[in-house]
Amino acid sequence: MLRIEIPSSGPAHLNFSKLERLNIPTPPNGFDPEINDNIIMSFEDEQQAIDYSIEMDKYAELLNDYSSPEYVAVSEIIKAISEDEFVQSYIQN
């Protein structure tokens, strides 16, 4: 199981309730709130996280307003996955 955290201090100031209001496709295992308002995404493995990141990239391309809350949130999700040390190690191998 791979857990990737999205910090609430990012540009979108995401927390669980804000994320629920946005119409963003959820990862296979959903989103979970943390006590510190950060959001956790759980994946079976690194490949599942990468696949979800690719799905989010395609979704972001469909959004016309690059300053919309959805676009900013999707960008933070993609960034969190791409910066995860386990995902980076998986890609390099």
| Rounded CA separation 21/1 (Å) | 26
**Residue 6 exposed, middle or buried by CB count within 10 Å (0-12, 13-18, 19+):** buried
Expressed as residue numbers, the domain containing 34 is 2-92
pLDDT (average), residues 54-82: 94
- Does the pLDDT of residue 23 top 90, yes or no? no
The pLDDT value given to residue 2: 96
| Rounded CA separation 55/61 (Å) | 10
Give the total number of structural domains in the chain.
1
pLDDT (average), residues 61-67: 89
Q: Cα angle at 50 between 80 and 40, to 5 degrees?
A: 40
